[in-house]
Homo-oligomer: A and B are copies of this chain.
């Protein structure tokens, strides 16, 4: 029997990417839907999958890699439901409602866990037993995989909101996070950078001092990830990470902060193979969503 197709959704803060793919990952159809409200977004997704199924064949399983906060515990009655997001309309929205008409199993995980899975299977995380994927973009988030399974506690992780050492004399900016002010997301995410300097680091010409400042905040997450997860590799993606020079500055700052305490072959001098950018570029998310769908097939 020919294996049924996979429906995949990468749900981001500004747009959803939806795809229908074969089991081997070949994408047969793809669409983009702006992240407005579930009332507009969910019917548009369902229509795309209906049309694609008519053209390419039945969809046997769905994989969703989504922004959060969202319930990703398969044992929870609220699995696949957005929890307390400030995004209007999304609290309580549930992917199963969008996709229920297809009667197919659905696996839901976070966007960063999905991207981590994509990178682990086909990108820069191949061969890693423990892998951390972080996005520094509109928000900051980290997914950690162990043997290809995403880790969680009572919820998915919220790495963006870790506190960071912040010298208010050298950097008087109070931060942009409505909860914490100068947590990592409040200092290093794209909106924070634009709020303080009027434009992105790249548009500013990637000045070395500003790049180093932001890199050192991000390095505090990198250091925490090493000490609290000991991943075999750290992948850093997202829009902010595309700033020229930022990855190198992040490597230097992380190495300086670790100060040689952790000795392991993974931590190469200069961290060039330890801290890397996504091998799949912007395709990590949808690749991961397809991989989640493959798991839903069982």
B266 touches A228 (CB 8 A): no
Determine whether A157 belongs to the interface, using a CB cutoff of 8 Å to chain B. Answer: yes
Query: Which of A242-272 touch B at CB < 8 Å?
Result: 257, 259-264, 266
Q: Does A152 contact B (CB under 8 A)?
A: yes
Per-position binary interface string of chain A over residues 194-218, scored 1 when its CB falls under 8 Å from any chain B CB and 0 otherwise:
0000000000000000000000000
Instruction: Assess A227 versus B158: contact at CB under 8 Å? Given A259-B180, A261-B180.
Output: yes
Task: Give the docked Cα–Cα distance between A259 and B228 (Å).
Answer: 22
Are A179's CB and B260's CB within 8 A? yes
A162 lies within 8 A of chain B by Cβ: yes
- The interface residues of chain B lying within 8 Å CB-to-CB of A226 are 158
Q: Are A228 and B162 in contact (CB under 8 A)?
A: yes
Taking CB atoms, residues of chain B closer than 8 Å to A161 are: 227, 261
B259, A153: Cβ atoms under 8 Å? no
Partner of A159, one of B156, B228, B257, B262: B228
> How many chain copies does the complex carry?
2
Which residues of chain A (153-185) have a CB below 8 Å from chain B?
153-159, 161-166, 179-180
In the assembled complex, how far is the CB of residue A260 from the closest CB belonging to chain B, in whole angstroms? 7
A220 touches B163 (CB 8 A): yes
With A151-B151, A163-B223 given, name 8 new contacts (CB 8 A): A146-B151, A153-B230, A155-B230, A157-B228, A158-B226, A159-B228, A180-B261, A228-B228
Beta-carbon contacts of A105-148 to B below 8 Å, as 1s and 0s?
Answer: 00000000000000000000000011000000000001000100
A225 interface contact, C-beta 8 A: yes
Task: Give, as a whole number of angstroms, the nearest-CB distance from A293 to chain B.
Answer: 25
Q: Is the interface of A mostly helix, strand, loop or mixed?
A: loop
Judge whether A154 and B227 touch: CB under 8 Å.
Answer: no
Provide the bound-state CA to CA distance between A166 and B162, in Å. Answer: 15
A232 within 8 A of B: yes
CA gap between A266 and B261 in the complex, in Å: 34
A229 at the interface (CB under 8 A from B): yes
Residues of A within 8 A of B (CB): 83-84, 129-130, 142, 146, 151-159, 161-166, 179-180, 220, 223-232, 257, 259-264, 266
Instruction: Tell me, rounded to whole Å, the shortest Cβ–Cβ distance linking A192 to chain B.
Output: 16
How far apart are the CA atoms of A261 and B84 in the complex, in Å?
10
Contacts A146-B151, A153-B232, A165-B164 given; indicate if A179 touches B261 (C-beta within 8 A). Answer: yes
Contacts of A130 in B (CB 8 A): 152-154
**A166 neighbours in B (Cβ, 8 Å):** 165
A230 touches which of B157, B231, B260 (Cβ 8 Å)? B157
Q: Tell me if A165 and B163 are in contact (CB < 8 A).
A: yes
Q: CA of A266 to CA of B154 in the docked complex: distance in angstroms?
A: 8
Q: Please name the residue on chain B nearest to A229 by beta carbon.
A: B153
Which 7 pairs of residues, A with B, have the shortest CB-CB distance?
A153-B230, A130-B153, A179-B261, A165-B165, A158-B227, A179-B259, A155-B230
